[in-house]
Amino acid sequence: GVTFEAVIVPPPSARQVIAKQSSWTNTSVRDTEIAGLKQEVDRLSGEGSQGDLTASTATTAAVGRDVACSGLNSPRQSLQYSPTNLSSTLLSPSPPRALSWAFRAAHEDFTLFDTTVAVGIIGCPGNNRVIAHLLKQIANFEDSSGRGRNLRAMKDVNHLHIEVRALANSGKMLFAEHGVPPEQLESATNDLDALHADLSKEAPEGEFDLASAEWSALGEYMGTKRIPHKVLIDCTDSDDVAKSYPEWLKRGIHVVSQNKRVGAGSLDLYRDVMEVTRKSEANLYLESMVGAQMPIISVMHDIVQTGDNITRVDGIFSGTMGYILDRVQRAEGTTFSEALAEAKERGLPEPDPFADVSGLDTARKALVLARELGFDLELEDVTVESLVPKDAEGKGWDALQEALKASTDAELAARVSEAQAKGECLRYVGRVDAVAGKISVGLRSFPMDHPFSTTRDSETTIAFRTGQYTEATPLLLRGPGAGPVAIASGVFADLLRLTKNL
């Protein structure tokens, strides 16, 4: 493959080297003033960007176009080329960050990766930590020296390049013409105004734009980029964002979604999204909706595709509820409300914790699986045992805590005592009965040697009953299924899974 090497010489060294060009002794290096190439660019812009790099004039022009358009001050460039390698040293008194834009743009023109994916990420204030971890993982991936290892698992991603071209929240959208620099992804926060100001300090004009959030406009921006593979990642809990999926998919934009408003929202919207996905070249990946990085949906698909028949799926789907019940039963004297507060400190609950303690989160995840099994059910069809009064919904954290202390703490303590008297353990479980076509959610009591009873902390545990995996020997999945790191890892895994099929 073709490699591209760049050496960027920032000021004041650039001024010194430019003044001593005679010291460059390699005769194969071509020294040229980029500004002088502008008239030649239009004629040669389609040549030399792939394949044989010995077309030196076209090669120089291709890099020169990007450098000249970057607004550098008195740039000079040396190029050394062969059929498989282009080495370039760019000298300019311009700021270092401005120099980096030129080479990042040139990288794109030479298609130096087998697959480049333009990514837009949509978050919300309640998911700040998920977005932060996701951006960190992308930055680490882009900077990973281990990607060249000869591991079979790395084969599909060794030559993948991810460019974060858009970041959005409920109020603003940040557009990055050539992507947010990997070194700044980790510091990107929900304050897009501050991020835009920082990125724009030394960048060429128009490199970054800030606009009001408008999901159709986001799709239009992503859809018009010259990179053929576009992905929008939805880490929100927004109906408005979910309703934009059909439009995005029709544009050929892939969607990676952690937003359960799609998988467990309106059945009409779900059908519309799935129908558009079926007809479109774009794909929808929603593995992280249930169990974060745990491959629950993938395993379910494998079971069905290999000819087995799923009869029932039971699961501790809510990491928050799993944590609460584990704490209440193993830490003597801990109440439901106290355990929820601890879970909140660890970042386990949904943006609105009421969704966890009311059973809504578990119901949604179970509904996602039921629909994957072909059941046309609405959320209202799920039988849910809530552990909190309905009137606490939407009233905020303090009101929720008051409601739990007023009734739930004592009621749950009594249920725990009852289960322990029988030598059993209490768990909050979602059940998809694929024989009856029904979903139920609520507290269940299990023997102490049951797989659900041995679950610890915020673990997610799923049990599949099928023709092959019977009541006595179900297929079990168990592991971290909640929290910012696990969710971000699940979303990123979905993104990588998507790129393998491009």
Give the tens place of pLDDT for each residue, 54-101: 334 444 444 444 444 444 444 455 555 444 444 555 555 445 444 454
Q: What is the pLDDT of residue 147?
A: 65
Mean pLDDT, rounded, of the chain: 81
pLDDT of 344 over the 60 cut: yes
Q: Could you tell me if 65 and 37 are in contact, meaning their C-beta atoms sit under 8 angstroms apart?
A: yes
**Arch. (CATH architecture) of 296-481:** 2-Layer Sandwich (3.30)
Position 384 confidence tier, pLDDT thresholds 50, 70, 90: very high
Q: What is the pLDDT of residue 42?
A: 29
414-430: buried (b, 16+ CB within 10 Å) or exposed (e) per residue?
Answer: ebbeebeeeebbbbbbb
The CA-based diameter of the chain, rounded to the nearest angstrom, is 90
3-class secondary-structure state, position 33:
strand
Q: Could you tell me if 248 and 120 are in contact, meaning their C-beta atoms sit under 8 angstroms apart?
A: no
- 305-336 residue pLDDT tens: 999 999 999 999 999 999 999 999 999 899 99
Q: Which of 155, 279, 344, 365 is catalytic?
A: 365
| CATH class (in words) of the domain with range 115-292+487-499 | alpha beta
3-class secondary-structure state, position 178:
coil
State the average pLDDT over residues 396-417: 95
Give the whole-angstrom CA distance, residue 262 versus residue 237.
Answer: 9
State the average pLDDT over residues 390-406: 92
Q: Could you tell me if 244 and 131 are in contact, meaning their C-beta atoms sit under 8 angstroms apart?
A: no
- Which helix (DSSP H) or strand (DSSP E) does residue 60 occupy? helix 56-68
- 171-180 residue pLDDT tens: 999 999 989 9
Q: Could you tell me if 361 and 355 are in contact, meaning their C-beta atoms sit under 8 angstroms apart?
A: yes
pTM (two decimals): 0.79
- 478-494 residue pLDDT tens: 999 888 899 999 999 99
pLDDT of 26 over the 60 cut: no
Q: Could you tell me if 400 and 353 are in contact, meaning their C-beta atoms sit under 8 angstroms apart?
A: yes
Position 412 confidence tier, pLDDT thresholds 50, 70, 90: very high
Domain ranges of the chain: 3-109, 115-292+487-499, 296-481
Give the whole-angstrom CA distance, residue 24 versus residue 237.
Answer: 58
Reply yes or no on whether 260 is catalytic: no
